[in-house]
Amino acid sequence: MYRILVVEDDAVLRNGIVYSLKKEGYESVAAGSLKEMKEQLSRPVDAVLLDVSLADGDSRNYLEAHRREVKAPVIFLTARSAERDQIRGFDAGADDYVTKPFSIPLLLRRLRAVLRRNAREEDGLYRTEDLTYDFHTKTLKKAGEPVALSRTEIRILEILIENRNQVLTWETMLEKIWDIDGNFVDKNTLSANIARLRGKIEEDRKNPRHILNVFGIGYKWSDENGK
């Protein structure tokens, strides 16, 4: 279970975020100041949701000075939406930046994306049942045996895995793979590549377990045990 630290001096917002995280299955801990944040960081966390302006200081200055100690990815929460403020946040060491007011579903999506990226950078491997994909070497193995993939198939596989258990529209996937070789990719080409990919990874392509069709919308990578 991921452990998420919420650092926010607005008690109502802080409690709302903590409640939502727990509903999503996260372990969440809270702090209302930089001092409390330091205390909570005595135990490892998997991500920090960090308000920029706290009563005891600007958290950007703190993060910039202590980024080596704060090993977890950080998402800044702030009402400062100007480009220069966002750049300042990223320069301080933030992994993402969410401006207030924001919706909880959006925050959760951003959090999931940061956690996925961090896990991939640390390990580089995705595993589920008999499949193993290495993001660093771009290699797929099924039951320990290498599976040959085209560049387009690799890109499709990575997009699906990175967004596993989420529905991806055709439009979203086409946008992401459009320029992989500088060529136009249309819906028919995408469908053909999906079919080939299914043939290489599914035991029964007519009854797939991983690459699922979402009728009238797009595709979804189904994964209950992958990591």
Predicted confidence at residue 180, as pLDDT, reads 47
* Topology, domain 3-122: Rossmann fold (3.40.50)
Predicted confidence at residue 184, as pLDDT, reads 62
pLDDT in tens, 61-113: 999 888 878 888 999 998 888 888 888 888 988 989 999 989 999 999 889 88
CATH class entry, domain 151-221: mainly alpha
Please state the domain extents for the chain: 3-122, 151-221
Q: Identify whether the C-beta of residue 29 lies closer than 8 Å to the C-beta of residue 21.
A: no
Among all chains, which residue has been given the structure tokens 């797939």?
A: 208
3-state secondary structure of 131: strand
pLDDT in tens, 31-50: 999 999 999 998 889 899 99
Q: What are phi and psi of 175, to 5 degrees?
A: -65, -40
**What type of residue is 82?**
A
Mean pLDDT across 174-183: 65
3-state secondary structure of 188: helix
Predicted confidence at residue 4, as pLDDT, reads 94
Q: Identify whether the C-beta of residue 110 lies closer than 8 Å to the C-beta of residue 94.
A: no
Helical pair 11-23 and 104-123, crossing angle rounded to 10 deg:
60
3-122 against 151-221: fold identical: no
